[in-house]
Amino acid sequence: MKKFVLLASICVLLPALPAWGQSSPQSSSKDALSAWLRSSYAGRRDNLIDSAEKVPDDIYNLRPGPQKEVRTYGQIIGHLANFNYLWCSQAKEEKNPAAGKDFEKLETRAKLTQALKDAFHYCDSVYANLTDASGLEVIQITQENGKETHVPRMSC
């Protein structure tokens, strides 16, 4: 188990090294990793919300091919909302407020975009309160397939 936690921690920390190494000595802090992760999250959140808002309505039902098992653009947006609620509720160690909902089934751009915004809003407090120490705490999560495992909070 200790090897798994160490490996998972390395996997979470490794992508941060290039950005961390570029910081100047004056800008270093005791929570540099969580600050980097918070910044990365905010950038991706804003890009995804902007994309959801700017893609035309008719693209939301677009599928890259005839395969029904491949998600449409709208289903991808719904999937992102579903999993933001799932992972952030586990990082908060609380009940998923969207349990039982499937945002992939929403049919309009307005509803999907709002679901995505709401999911990110729910996650914002996870990142706002994150420290390097709290991010490295090992928590128990339930994966999509129902399997329970232990991971660093920062990996959620």
Here the tokens at position 63 are 């599928």
Give the per-residue pLDDT at 27.
45
Instruction: Give the integer Cα–Cα distance in Å for 24 and 9.
Output: 24
42 vs 22: which has the higher pLDDT: 42
* Pairing verdict, β 148-152 and 138-142: antiparallel
CA 143 to chain CA centroid, Å, is 14
Instruction: Give the integer Cα–Cα distance in Å for 118 and 97.
Output: 11
Give the per-residue pLDDT at 112.
98
Instruction: Give the integer Cα–Cα distance in Å for 8 and 1.
Output: 11
- What is the DSSP secondary structure assignment for residue 16, as one 8-state letter? G
pLDDT, mean of residues 83-108:
95
Instruction: Give the integer Cα–Cα distance in Å for 73 and 63.
Output: 7
Q: Among 135, 139, 152, 151, which residue's Cα sits nearest to residue 35?
A: 135
pTM here? 0.77
Give the per-residue pLDDT at 134.
93
Largest CA distance in the chain: 54
Using one digit for the tens of pLDDT, what is the confidence trace for 29-86?
Answer: 789 999 999 999 999 999 999 999 999 999 999 998 888 889 999 999 999 999 999 9
Q: How open is the CA angle 61-70-79, to the nearest 5 degrees?
A: 75
Q: Among 98, 100, 93, which residue's Cα sits nearest to residue 115?
A: 98
